[in-house]
Structure 1
């Protein structure tokens, strides 16, 4: 619901800017680059292509509720960001919070538009700090609403994938790194495709070294309604004083 008075809009913008300040200003960029070349196409060229293709899209750190679709009897959920996922197994533990250390087990594939089946490029265990910006956005978003013990198939569009050099997970073995770079090069040539990650969330635990920079700052619907009411009342008061 939008407010009638412009002062409400200003106050709302100020509030949400403060609420997300800590998370937005403590996500370090990757510190190293992967300069492997494949088929004459460099990774930085791939990154530039994807950034342009995404149209400067901004992915929210707190994904909105997904819409459900039915694909040949399989329920596929789609987030507003474009991320799709299939719930293979629902976990029984808690969902991870930003700033926690999450242990996952994954298998990565890349599905090209000209092929019927995705090609596997890696399978490994991986430890991440949830929300620190060092892994691809689609994977980080995909595990945020999982529960420990759960398993999902994430279908990640290019704009949520390897848009910058150094984003993980990067395969440890040289052959697997070569396979990933080759497939990413084919994505550029064919101008399409998706990453597919089958992910199991093994654990989510607090980081003892955490400085509190990654705490979830998303207000609940009830908190938003209370804030909206307060801003509306204040805006009405200001309108009344101006007219007087």
Structure 2
């Protein structure tokens, strides 16, 4: 029975040894915590993800931060973007401020640039952990609790893939 407890130990171990990470052409290190079973995110396809940026065990930026809507409904909007697109080029959300200012689409957290390329090759249902260096992260500006020039961990969960629109 030793293998059994070993596997459980590995599963419960939170930190993944760096040699288990794969490296993208841009030099980002990533590890698939969960292999998805669904469609593959390819360059040009539009995807919906939830993402969390973890810095020193603190979730600093997250798409799961719920927004309070009228009637006390809470939503956590998945983040939608085109794989391989330049950051900031995604379509603005469909909803806008209503007159009483209850909800603003612009309040959506900004993912690090790394996410636009590192999602490529993921399958729907998959979860990927990425080590994001400052140049692929928030650079010299920083973001929330992530100080300028910091490396942090990005966790991505791929929820949906829409194929590229046929021209």
Measured against the shorter chain, the TM-score band is 0.5 to 0.7
The reply on whether 1:199 has 2:152 as its aligned counterpart is no
Contact 1:82 1:157 in 2 (8 A): no
Q: Which structure features the higher share of strand residues?
A: 2
Size of the aligned set, in residue pairs, is 115
The separation in 1 between residues aligned to 2:140 and 2:159, in whole angstroms, is: 27
Of 114, 133, 137, which residue of structure 2 is paired with 1:138? 114
The reply on whether 1:153 has 2:153 as its aligned counterpart is no
Task: Note the aligned Cα RMSD (angstroms).
Answer: 2.8
Matching residue of 1:109: 54
The separation in 1 between residues aligned to 2:17 and 2:138, in whole angstroms, is: 26
Structure 1's 157 and 92: CA in aligned 2 closer, same or farther, altered over 3 A? Answer: same
Matching residue of 1:123: 62
Shift of 1:164: 9.0
The separation in 2 between residues aligned to 1:156 and 1:203, in whole angstroms, is: 23
Relative to the length of structure 1, the TM-score reads: 0.41
Q: Which structure features the higher share of helix residues?
A: 1
State the SS of the aligned residue for 1:144. coil
Q: Flag structure 2 segments of 5+ consecutive residues without an equivalent.
A: 1-15, 64-77, 89-111
The separation in 2 between residues aligned to 1:201 and 1:159, in whole angstroms, is: 23
List structure 1 segments (4+ residues) > 4 angstroms apart after TM superposition: none
The separation in 2 between residues aligned to 1:98 and 1:164, in whole angstroms, is: 27
Relative to the length of structure 2, the TM-score reads: 0.57
Shift of 1:207: 4.9
Contact 1:104 1:127 in 2 (8 A): yes
Structure 1's 149 and 157: CA in aligned 2 closer, same or farther, altered over 3 A? Answer: same
Structure 1's 164 and 140: CA in aligned 2 closer, same or farther, altered over 3 A? Answer: farther
Structure 1's 182 and 147: CA in aligned 2 closer, same or farther, altered over 3 A? Answer: closer
State the SS of the aligned residue for 2:143. helix
Larger radius of gyration: 1
The separation in 1 between residues aligned to 2:87 and 2:140, in whole angstroms, is: 10
Q: Flag structure 1 segments of 5+ consecutive residues without an equivalent.
A: 1-69, 111-116, 166-178, 188-192, 212-244
State the SS of the aligned residue for 2:85. coil
Q: Deviations over 1:150-169 (max 9, x none)?
A: 1011111111123598xxxx
Mapping of residues 1-244 of structure 1, within 5 Å: 71=17, 75-110=20-55, 117-124=56-63, 125-134=78-87, 136-163=112-139, 180-185=143-148, 187=149, 193-208=150-165, 211=167
